[in-house]
Every structure is written in structure tokens, then in C-alpha cells.
Structure 1
Amino acid sequence: MTTAPAPSPAWEARSAALWAAIDDHEPAAFRALVRELAEELPEGHPVSAFELACANDSTGLPDRAAPLYRAALAGGLDPYRERRANIQLASTLRNLGELEESVALLRTERAKDAAALDEATRGLGDAVDAVLALALTDAGREREAVALAVGALARHLPRYNRSMAAYAAALVAPAPGPH
């Protein structure tokens, strides 16, 4: 799949400013502002679909967001937005009760070779883990969810990293057999 040309830096700056001010707008007004900005991009541009998906998702319309995320992903996003779209689509699917698809999408995202990702894209790894932990919890797999969350947190602790990582692994380790 080819990646669509990136929007201009000026467009990106205006998009970032709009998102920074999301709480200053009523949901419908915010979606309209995002739509206006998205319409500046060429018709069918995947970033347009991505921004519209995000706006719908962030204002409580996950059913509208899911097909837009899919369109954005099919259109060829840059690696950073692609990872964001996968995380956000999985979160949306979780909110819509499509837990197995959410978990599968996040497992695929977790399996990506971190060395092949740029620093910013790799930096979204904890977000993958956080959304996966939520999806696993909703799917009734709480021990696996806690193990994932503790394992992700262990990487950021000033101490006890090794112990917390071991505890996280123990939460999902198979129970020992009879002696």
C-alpha cells in the first residue's frame, strides 16, 4: 500500500491548534470545524477520513468513527497516523462491543517489530497496551489485562522494574501441574 502525501505543515499546525481547543467547542460544532479543515485536503485523502473519525470518536459517535478509521487505514496513512488509527479503531470497536476484533487488532499492533518503527510511532506502544488492557477486561480476561498494564508500567518505574515485570508474567503463567 502506498502512503498518501502528507498535508502541509501549515495544515498540520491548524489541525493541532483545533484539537488543542476541543474543549472550547460543543461536539457538533467541533465536528463541523474538523470537517471544514478535512475538506481542504484532496477528495478521498486518508488523513481527511482519519481526522473525521477522530472527531466523531472524541465527541461520542463511535458508530460513525469506525468506518472512517477503516477508510483512512485503507487509504494509506503514514506510520504514526496508521498506528494511531489502529489504536483508536480498536478502542472504538471495544466501545461498540466488538471485543474480539479489538483484541486481535491490538495484538497485531503489539507484534510489530519495534526496531522497524520510528521513535514517535514506537512511543505509542504503551497506548496499545492500555487499550488492549481495557479490551481484555471487557472480554472477561482481567488477569491478562492486569498483567499487561503492570508490565507496561514496570518499564517506567524508578525502581522495582524487574520485580513488577516478573509479577506481570506470573499473572498469566500457566498454573503448575500436580506434583
Structure 2
Amino acid sequence: MTAQEARWERRLESLWASFDDHGPGDFLRRVESLAAELPPGDAVALYELASAHDALGREEGAAALYRRALAAGLPDGRRRRAVIQLASTLRNLGRTEESIALLTAERELRSDELDDAVTAFLSLALADAGREREAAALALTALVPHLPEYRRSLTYYARALTTGDGARPGSGTAAVPGPPSAHTRAAPGP
């Protein structure tokens, strides 16, 4: 990144940090002004404009801009965010199946620090589509790695939500801690 690009990014970051200090029209004008400093059709400029429209509740315009930004070849740092944001916008516009398709494909592409965000927005879209059990299973599965205990049980319960197995008495899947640590013991179960 050049020094000029870094200054532009800092100015943009500062503007987003002060979002609540601006009226909607003022904020959009400021983003448009920053975007105009980049070449016409620049993917990053289109993405930032889309994000501004989205943040201001202008979802139809945001969706079109996200699509243009993605088509223009967003760099990796913004590409996945654009997919997440476009999918969320589509869900808000009632285009749930399109949102699910985008996020499902995104989950299969690669893994990074945004995996849980992809899963969270996919869970919301699945719930909107009437697939609540699948949504809950995805959300629980994303949560499991962040828990210090109960991983084994919650992994089983998440799987049971979509397979219909459910917890059975004596199956060793009651809310027991796992994996073992200095203050817990291993519990039986799947």
C-alpha cells in the first residue's frame, strides 16, 4: 500500500468512526467525496459507497453497488466483507434464498477471521427461510470453539438439531464440560 493509499484509508476509517456525528446526507456526501478521489469504477470506492448506503438503510442502492464492487475485483480484505454485507442486505430485502446461496458458497471458499460472521449471517437467513433448526445448529457450531467448557455436549446437540437424533437418556450428552482441563474431568459421550 502506498503512503497516499494509507492516508486515504485512515481518512475513511476516521469518517466511519464518526458515523454517529453526521446526519445521513452529510455522511453520504463525505463518503462520496472520498470515493471520488479514486479512479471511476474503482472496486474499493464502490464498496465503500455500498457500505454507506447500507448503513443509511438504502438497501436497494447498496445491493447494486456491492455487486458492482465485487464485479470490479475487490481485494481480499474487502471482498469477503462485501459478500457478507450483500447477503445481509439481500436478506433484509426479502431475497432470502439468494442470501443463503451467497453465504453457503462463501463458507466453502476459504477460512479466515470472518468465518463466524459468515455463519452468523447465514444463520439469520436460514431462520428467515423457516429453517430454524439448521440456523440454530450453525450458530451453536460456530460458538463451540469459543467456549472453555461444554464443547462436546454442544457439538452433539448442534448435530442433533439437523439429524433429529435428540439427546437420549444415558447417551452421555447432558451438559457436561469438555475437553478436560485442570479443573474438569472428561465426560462420556459422542
Which TM class, normalised by the smaller chain length?
A: 0.7 to 0.9
Aligned to 1:83: 80
How far apart are residue 28 of structure 1 and its match? 1.7
Does residue 158 (structure 1) correspond to residue 155 (structure 2)? The answer is no
TM-score (norm 1): 0.88
Match of 2:67 among 54, 65, 70: 70
Match for residue 6 of structure 2? 9
CA-CA distance at 1:164 after TM superposition: 1.2
Query: What is residue 187 of structure 2 aligned with on the other side?
Result: none
Partner SS state of residue 94, structure 2: coil
After superposition, the C-alpha distances for 1:61-92 in whole angstroms (9 at most, x for unaligned) are 10110000000000011112000000000000
Match for 1:125 among 96, 111, 115?
Answer: 115
Residue 25 of structure 1 aligns with which residue? Answer: 22
Question: 2:109 aligns to what SS in structure 1?
Answer: coil
Percent identical residues? 55
Alignment of 1:43-122 (within 5 A): 43-114=40-111, 122=112
Unaligned residue ranges in structure 1 (runs of 5+): 115-121
Taking structure 2 as the reference length, what is the TM-score of the superposition?
Answer: 0.83
> What amino acid is aligned across from residue 49 of structure 1 in structure 2?
L
Cα distance in 1, alignment partners of residues 155 and 18 from structure 2: 38
Q: Give the secondary structure class of the aligned counterpart of 2:41.
A: coil
Deviation, 1:113, is 3.0
Partner of 1:144: 134
Read off the aligned partner of 2:144 and give its amino acid letter.
A
- More deviation in 105-114 or 90-99? 105-114
Secondary structure at 1:88 match in 2: helix
Cα distance between partner residues in 2 of 1:140 and 1:80 = 32
SS across alignment from 1:44: coil
**Residue in 2 that maps onto 1:117:** none
Question: What letter matches 1:46 in structure 2?
Answer: A
Whole-angstrom distance in 2 between the partners of 1:103 and 1:149: 14
**Aligned residue type for 2:65:** L
Q: Which has the higher contact order (CA 8 A, sep 6+)?
A: 1
CA distance in 1 between partners of 2:99 and 2:26 (Å):
29
The one-letter amino acid of 2:132's match is: E
1:167 Cα deviation from its structure 2 partner: 1.1
- Which ranges of structure 2 fall in alignment gaps of 5 or more residues? 167-190
Instruction: Compute the displacement of 1:52 (Å).
Output: 0.4
2-structure distance, mates of 1:162, 1:65: 41
Root mean square deviation of aligned Cα? 1.7
